[in-house]
Structure 1
Amino acid sequence: MESQIFELQYALDTFYFLICGALVMWMAAGFTMLEAGLVRSKNTVEILTKNVALFATASIMYMVCGYAIMYGGDLFLSGIAGGDTLVEDALAASAENGFGGDSVYSAASDFFFQVVFVATCMSIVSGAVAERMKLWSFLLFAVVMTGVIYPLEGSWTWGGNDVFGLFNLGDMGFSDFAGSGIVHMAGAAAALAGVLLLGSRKGKYGPNGEIRAIPGANLPLAALGTLILWMGWFGFNGGSVLKLGDIASANAVAMVFLNTNAAAAGGAVGALILARIIFGKADLTMLLNGALAGLVAITAEPSTPSALQATIFGVIAGIIVVLSILALDKIKIDDPVGAISVHGVVGLFGLLIVPITNPASTFIGQIVGAATIFAWVFIASLVVWSIIKLVIGLRISEEDEYEGADIAECGMEAYPEFIR
Structure 2
Amino acid sequence: MLTAFVRAFKTPDLRRKILFTLTVMAIFRLGSFVPTPGVSYVEIQKCRPTGGQTNQFLGLANLFSGGALLQLSIFALGIMPYITASIIIQLLTVVIPRFEALKQEGQTGQAKMTQYTRYLTIGLAILQSSTFVTFARNPEQLFGPSCTNILTNESPVTLIIMVLTMTAGTGLIMWLGELITERGVGNGMSLLIFTSIAAGFPGSLWAIKQRDGRWDTFILVILIGFAIITAVVFVEQCQRRIPVQYAKRMVGRRMYGGTSTYIPLKVNQAGVIPVIFASSMLAIPGLLVQFQQSNPNPPGWVAWIAANMLNHGSPWYMATYILLILFFTFFYVSISFNPVEVADNMKKYGGFIPGIRAGRPTAEYLSYVLNRITVVGALYLALVSLIPLIAFVVINADQNFPFGGTSILIIVGVGLETVKQIESQLQQRHYEGFLR
| Global fold match (TM > 0.5) | no
What's the TM-score once normalised by structure 2's chain length?
0.30
Higher strand share: 2
Structure possessing the higher radius of gyration over alpha carbons: 2
Q: Which is bigger in relative contact order (C-alpha 8 A, separation at least 6)?
A: 1
